[in-house]
A and B are shown apart, each in its own frame.
Chain A
């Protein structure tokens, strides 16, 4: 039997690899290699998409939740990254959450969504629901108490989700309590492990004003935000560790401070990423944070003004809005023009792809979504 291994005969032993063996091997691959494996054979494709196996396999950007206003009512939809060729991965409204089908999505983090009841609901400002639309599990959070007495205050506070399944099956919700001027006074942090909120006073600079129109990023156990003070701030899940980093952009580099907006945060190749917003005559710079020391930002890519105007910015030179950078490859997604086309720009090939026409009614939010199939919400209904 030993002799046959040296002969050049077709390898029949591979056929003996059971499905469980194959899935175990595939689970050790980086996500890009795993996606290539989908194209190897129908059997491998089906193994990778099978509901029983997905929880072991790394996931990548599946698409976006975006909202729309229909007769004054806010409606949320899901768009696949691959566009409309396949039915949407996630069905909306969320029929698996009776009583909360029409929630507004506030944030997404590694497969979980942070939601609020819709604007019309009396609980819009004070209640949070965290759900996993892929596993259809969900939990309603207890009231944080931040909105106790002030019934006229109908503006929701800035809230974000922190969840890292590689570290813990538990999630955290951060609700930032403001001073009168909109600066951060402190944070209410909900832990799904304790089932309770706890308040911690801010240790950032007293004038820290979060730029809520940029996505926050939860990575390395810290929730990161950009501020209007050219900083990136971060806080940990206990509210004990508060970081302030200079943004890679410098105030001196900005020609027109009145028209400047803080950069976009994203997760890119496993690191915290900062993308400068486009404005007249400036390249789009993409930085990653390699360590939390003062000089920790490293410039990774630049999309030149020429590439922006030729490829990304529509011919009439008006409006485009960055959504995010793809976490696992060199593509930037953005919404273009008054027609609200969701687009992707391939930085390596300098090519533009249309993902979907979102309709011209005006999209306000576009939240990237990476699914998680692990059973994480232990309190799920």
Chain B
């Protein structure tokens, strides 16, 4: 019975994806709704909202408990929560635990950051910061120094990923529709391209050189200047 329940949860998650989050995805919606009701009752109330449960794909099905606001950084998860597509076992995300570790870390960190920004005591303390960049910030109340540290944190998060992990995070962030994380991973890939020769770029991304000799010569002539040092 439990296994069936899990399977249904997974199917609903995938069904929601295929139909772009269409609430009427399955006929089991009624059962799922009541099952979710059970899950909500069991969920802990935490400052900042309910906790939601996410699970990675088979076989680990690793369990993550994250504040709802953090999970909603993913537009897709947001739609699924709105559409009652979770059961008491949580929402199954079809990515590996290794990838979901990074995604959850990102969402949790950014959720924490917005929390501290809206905290009046933290905001007041940072406003009196003599850091000139904080004073110069235009977005009233948002501490520029703190958001710069967040950028550094984001960069560190993706810098330590291997190429394969990076690709997995790109696909996950795309699938889950987490705009901020997409920006970070895309920028990381762009940084890997900067300063490299075409040959080096091919090696990094394992791309075959399909040019004919004539095409290659033609391009080199047109773009002679691009081979200067950056």
Contacts and interface: CB of A to CB of B under 8 A. Distances in A.
Interface of A: 1-2, 4-5, 10-11, 13-14, 16-17, 21, 24-26, 28-30, 32-33, 35-45, 82, 85-86, 326, 329-331, 346, 348, 353
A2 B100 CA distance: 11
Given A39-B216, A45-B219, A85-B222, A17 B196 contact: no
A39 B198 contact: yes
A41 B167 contact: no
Interface stretch (B5-13, B40-48, B205-213): B205-213
Given A33-B195, A43-B210, 20 more contacts: A2-B60, A4-B164, A11-B163, A13-B164, A14-B205, A25-B186, A29-B193, A30-B194, A32-B226, A32-B230, A33-B230, A39-B216, A39-B220, A39-B223, A41-B202, A41-B211, A42-B211, A346-B228, A348-B229, A353-B224
Interface residues of B, number: 49
Interface stretch (B24-32, B110-118, B132-140, B168-176): B168-176
B198 A36 contact: yes
B45 to A, nearest CB: 33
A35 B226 contact: yes
A164 to B, nearest CB: 19
B210 A13 contact: no
Contact of A5 (B164, B170, B182, B225): B164
Given A17-B167, A36-B201, A348-B228, A41 B220 contact: no
A320 to B, nearest CB: 20
B167 A24 contact: no
B165 interface: yes
Given A36-B201, A38-B223, A41-B207, A21 B174 contact: yes
Nearest to B164: A5
Contact of A331 (B190, B220, B225): B225
Interface of B is mostly: helix
Contact of A25 (B190, B208, B227, B230): B190
A38 B230 CA distance: 16
Given A36-B197, A39-B220, A16 B225 contact: no
A25 to B, nearest CB: 5
A25 B222 contact: no
Nearest to B215: A42
Contacts of B149: none
Contacts of A21: 170, 174, 186
Residue of A4, A39, A353 with most chain B CB atoms under a 10 A cut-off: A39
B219 A39 contact: yes
20 contacts: A1-B57, A2-B96, A2-B97, A5-B164, A11-B167, A14-B206, A14-B207, A26-B190, A26-B193, A29-B194, A33-B196, A36-B196, A37-B198, A37-B201, A39-B216, A41-B208, A42-B211, A42-B215, A85-B221, A331-B225
A86 B223 CA distance: 13
Interface of B: 57, 60, 96-98, 162-165, 167-168, 170-171, 174, 182, 186-187, 189-190, 193-198, 201-202, 205-211, 215-216, 218-230
Contacts of A326: 225
Given A14-B205, A41-B211, A42-B215, A329 B186 contact: no
A173 B54 CA distance: 56
A341 B103 CA distance: 57
Nearest to B99: A2
A24 B215 CA distance: 25
Given A2-B96, A40-B207, A329-B228, A29 B190 contact: yes
A24 B222 CA distance: 24
Given A25-B189, A29-B190, A82-B221, A1 B96 contact: yes
A40 B224 contact: no
B165 A41 contact: no
Contacts of B60: 2
Contacts of B220: 39
B70 to A, nearest CB: 23
A33 B198 CA distance: 9
A33 B193 contact: yes
B222 A86 contact: yes
Contacts of A38: 219, 223
B226 A36 contact: yes
A329 B189 contact: no
Contacts of A29: 190, 193-194
Contacts of B168: 5, 13
Nearest to A14: B205
A116 B211 CA distance: 44
A30 B201 CA distance: 15
Nearest to A45: B219
B230 to A, nearest CB: 6
A10 B186 contact: no
A45 B165 CA distance: 26
